[in-house]
Chain A
Amino acid sequence: MKITRDQLMALLFLTPSFLLIIIFVYGFIGWTGWVSLSNWNSLVPDMSFAGLKNYIYLFGDYRFQADLRNTVFFTILFIGFVIILGLGLAILLDQTKKANSLFRNIFLFPMALSFVVTGVVWQWLLNPSTGFNQFLQVFGIQPKWYTDTNILAGFQWGSIEFGLPVAMIAVVIAAVWQMTGFSLAMYVAGLTGIPDELREAARIDGASELQIYRKVILPMLTPITMSVVIIMAHISLKIFDLIYAMTGSGANFVTDVPGVYMFETTFRGNYYANGAAIAIIMLLLVAIFIVPYLINSRRGAS
């Protein structure tokens, strides 16, 4: 086979980044995986093989079980609200068509902030002795927000109480506030992509506005929803900065997440192998979402 000039150029341009990615992304993922199977739990590297010891320890650990519980509920609530609010706002914008781009920018703006900034701001807004509670006092309600240690609908599972940690709701509010603009922008783009002819045709067939949305527009937005879910899932499963700035681990680990645990156990406790194991588990969790999506989109493309 003869290599054309174009192909050669392409190869030349691709090789450096290909090599860098192989080494610095996949190489280090592999290294982390190896560390997670070692006995390296002190300052002195000890790469002797430990099998799944670190993983077994983690799954029996109170804190890690709490982390998994928190991640599950955070992810569900976060993605749910981001989609519902984003879609709702997008439809409203789509209806009015007035000042469309102005509102889109207003809603999108929180995204320009770092999660750290959001975390600090909401830490004060939802602080039980300052912030919103000063206002809510008028109505005699005093939620404890992220200092609440209650678990809603909790039951004993493993060593933890499984259920919705009330404190997590405060974190969800902050995260949703920041990311709703993103899903809004996605849905606005999706809605503009739907040709007006389709709506016209539906109207001619006698469909009500509600029916048009339910039967025509929403189904056409499914790919957008898929993308939003994937993007939000990878944010929420890896979340670290928002939690670290806003609440920390929380009393009784009600707002702890694997990212925070990994940081503390690795860099404060020098449990490198345990930390690596947490990192690998986080990677697998994200992979559960990403891999089917990638396979699906490859099929769609070919």
Chain B
Amino acid sequence: MLKKSLAFLFMFILMIALAACGGNEETTDNTGTTDDQTEDTSDNGASEEENAESSGDGGTVEIFSWWTGAGEEDGLLALIDLFEEQHPDITVENAAVAGGAGTNAKAVLATRMQGNDPPSTFQVHGGAELNESWVAADKMEPLNDFYEENDLMDKFPEELIDMVSKDGNIYSVPVNVHRGNVIFYNMEVFEEHGIEVPTTLDEFVDVLAQLDEAGVTPLAMGDKEAWTATQIFENLLLATLGPDDYRALWEGEVGFDDDRVRQAAEYFETILGYVNEDHASRNWQDASQLVGEGEAAMTNMGDWAKGYFSNDLELETNVDFGYFPFPGTTEDFMVITDTFGLPKGVENPDTVKEFLSVLGSVEGQDAFNPLKGSIPARVDADPSNYDEYGTDTMEDFQNNNLAPSLAHGSAASEGYLTKANQEVNIFVTQQNVDQFIEKLQQIAGDL
């Protein structure tokens, strides 16, 4: 009897131990909140096998990314198809890693780069994510000659090339651009309450108050992951500082004790008074849904939310939902750009350059972007391939001041961003401006 029950016990302890081991490892991707898109559907096991077989004359190009969501994967595959058409002798391996807003992919990439086994080319946001990490670690080849050979120097806006350059050398080729300072709004709600699109921060605050009085949630926010709130704050910084000083802030030339930073924090505090109460339980999709359903009037999100509004919620652009630049930043464009570079130590750099030249070509960008729902980084792409929102944004992209996004790793290092997200998360609850500014100054050392 006793023996039997002891065996029973032992079985359970064993079971628990197994369950604990298994459970801990496979949990990195599940909250369904990625920067760009959800639904991770790729199989990255298949690419491994191809690796062994293909060692023909043309060689292999391994493309490393975290594009596994619905639209983005289609875009990547279209780009690969185009490349294979033009270069039938080169094999392409799609080494996409799913999950965690690119976190998983970045962890895999870090391991491979540190182990001197770099992929042929990899996805990286232009700006600090490229320059302060891989370029600073001396892991990237400069692409200046490549830009000249392919006559690319005047095909991208100068400010965009600056974002992928360090000390006069260019290190990657931008493929797409998303805009971060967009407010999406429910047109019916705006009409019903007779609200005009605000263009300055003070008008914005008035609109928020007006909507609040009318009993609508003025602004939908979903900060289950803190970057959505950080995104609002960075847009406020851009509005109060202006594009030049905004850039200077991240370069350490303007301090966080500047009055305009405080002003941004104060606006942030005011705006937080008008967000939905359950913001901490939502992600950006849930917040956008509130706007789609008319429960909330507006939401600030990067323009990947446009794809969510049209494809997932099946709403019509400029009929059901509209969009306008974040108030106070109407002349500015918060850039989030995906770029691909050439790591040091790749066996066949010339083959990789072939891929980069397709990626940087008009055909390449027009194959990728309409499916991904972003706009091309090139200024001479064909607008007829894009929808109304796309053509509008392409025009703004060419005419506005470009600013690097903090929330998406372009303005400052990933380390700084992690800490900034923490401080923003605390501020959203405590709303203590003095403490927030003080903390921002403290972490500025990690910039």
Residues of A at the B interface (CB closer than 8 Å) are 41-45, 62-63, 111, 114-116, 119-120, 123, 127-129, 144-147, 149, 182, 185-186, 189-190, 192-193, 195, 224, 227, 231, 234-235, 238, 240-241, 244-245, 247-253, 263-265, 267-271
Contact = CB atoms under 8 A, between A and B. Distances in A.
B214 interface: no
Given A192-B5, A241-B23, A128 B31 contact: no
Contact of A271 (B16, B113, B136, B418): B418
22 contacts: A42-B133, A42-B413, A43-B113, A43-B114, A44-B136, A120-B30, A146-B280, A147-B281, A182-B12, A182-B16, A186-B12, A189-B8, A189-B9, A241-B23, A244-B30, A245-B27, A245-B30, A248-B224, A265-B418, A267-B104, A270-B133, A270-B414
A127 B418 contact: no
A252 B229 CA distance: 13
B27 A244 contact: yes
A248 B422 contact: no
Contacts of A271: 415, 418
Contacts of A129: 278, 281
A193 B5 contact: yes
B31 A244 contact: yes
A121 B255 CA distance: 45
B428 A251 contact: yes
Contacts of B113: 43
Contacts of A41: 415
Nearest to B113: A43
B293 to A, nearest CB: 12
B107 A241 contact: no
Main secondary structure on A side of the interface with B: helix
Contacts of A247: 224, 281
A193 B278 contact: no
A184 to B, nearest CB: 11
B106 interface: yes
A96 B114 CA distance: 62
B198 to A, nearest CB: 27
A142 to B, nearest CB: 10
A252 B27 contact: no
Contact of B278 (A44, A147, A192): A147
A245 B426 contact: no
Contacts, number: 135
A229 to B, nearest CB: 13
B426 A127 contact: no
Interface in B426-441: 426, 428-430
A192 B1 CA distance: 8
Contacts of B20: 234-235, 238
B418 A264 contact: yes
Given A189-B8, A189-B9, A251-B425, A114 B23 contact: yes
A248 B428 contact: no
Nearest to B422: A63
Contacts of A149: 280, 429
B117 to A, nearest CB: 15
B52 interface: no
A90 B414 CA distance: 50
B226 A249 contact: yes
A94 to B, nearest CB: 13
Interface string B142-186: 000000000000000000000000000000000000000000000
A185 B1 contact: no
B417 interface: yes
Given A147-B281, A185-B12, A248 B114 contact: no
B110 interface: yes
A271 B19 CA distance: 29
A116 B134 contact: no
B426 A252 contact: yes
Contacts of B30: 116, 119-120, 244-245
Contacts of A241: 23-24, 27
Contact of A227 (B13, B226, B422): B13
B225 interface: yes
Interface string B243-280: 00000000000000000000000000000000001111
Given A192-B1, A251-B223, A251-B429, A127 B414 contact: no
Contacts of A119: 30
Given A129-B281, A245-B30, 16 more contacts: A42-B415, A43-B137, A62-B426, A114-B26, A116-B26, A129-B278, A231-B13, A240-B27, A241-B24, A244-B31, A249-B425, A251-B279, A251-B429, A252-B425, A252-B426, A269-B419
